Structure 1
Amino acid sequence: MPRSKVGNAYPTLSAKPAQKTAWVLQLIEELDVIPSQYFKKLVNTDDIWEIRIQLGGNIFRILGFLDGEYLVILNHAFQKKTQKTPLNEIKIAENRKRDYFSRKQVT
């Protein structure tokens, strides 16, 4: 399964959400088969993946994409307030994906 590149992706979260986020990212990095409650491909998108983090009544999402076979680039995070992932959040992730690959071609 894809491997994550974890940087300082969640510096503004309080302790418990940051701890749960780190735990879910570790699952993604270590497991060969990741349960869809934590990681799934979003349908009708430009190959955008959603990392799902639930803590009490709070639901956090981190959107990203694959670069090659193993690398997951996490490029957009938000607190989810509806059942469906908001289209504007998906569009932000898709735009950042396009920007990432266009910059990568230049180097």
Structure 2
Amino acid sequence: MIRQIIFHGDYFIDFYQSLDAKVKTKIQYVLELIKQVERVPVKFLAPMSGYEGLYEVRVEYQSNIYRIFCCFDEGRLVVLFNGFQKKTQKTPKEELEKAMRLKNEYFKLKGK
């Protein structure tokens, strides 16, 4: 295993539990890929420009698009934050702001 995935709070879990079984399977596939592949294709994991240190896990299932925000900690640890179903071209600003807030909270708590 190249990377380990952890969750900050219940944000990802709550999102995940609300999904259809087939979507969950696809998300599990993408998360396994992130854990095991050295260079994850940008199709599945991409940095968010303008939001330092924030990445999005990209999952497409049928014609639906799902995003899960995350960051790296110590290079090999992926910390998952909030997730949502994307319904427009642009990523909702409130989801990005929530992800940045969670990222800052994670590192602040870790520093204690």
Q: Same fold (TM over 0.5)?
A: yes
* Inter-CA distance 87–47: structure 2 relative to 1 (3 Å threshold): same
Distance in 1 (alpha carbons) for counterparts of 2:89 and 2:78:
24
| Other structure's SS at 1:5 match | strand
Moved more, 8-17 or 57-66: 8-17
Distance in 2 (alpha carbons) for counterparts of 1:62 and 1:92:
12
Q: Deviations over 1:40-86 (max 9, x none)?
A: 01100021100000001110000011111100100010000112212
TM-score calculated relative to the size of structure 1: 0.90
Equivalent in the alignment of 2:89:
83
Distance in 2 (alpha carbons) for counterparts of 1:21 and 1:73:
15
Query: Number of aligned pairs?
Result: 105
Task: Name the Cα RMSD after superposition.
Answer: 1.6
Deviation of 1:6 (Å): 4.9
Distance in 2 (alpha carbons) for counterparts of 1:105 and 1:47:
17
Equivalent in the alignment of 1:61:
67
Gaps of 5+ in 1: none
User: Which letter does structure 1 place at the counterpart of 2:5?
Assistant: K
Work out whether 1:49 is the aligned partner of 2:67.
no
Gaps of 5+ in 2: none
Work out whether 1:33 is the aligned partner of 2:33.
no
> Which structure ranks higher in relative contact order (CA pairs < 8 Å, sequence separation ≥ 6)?
2
TM-score calculated relative to the size of structure 2: 0.86
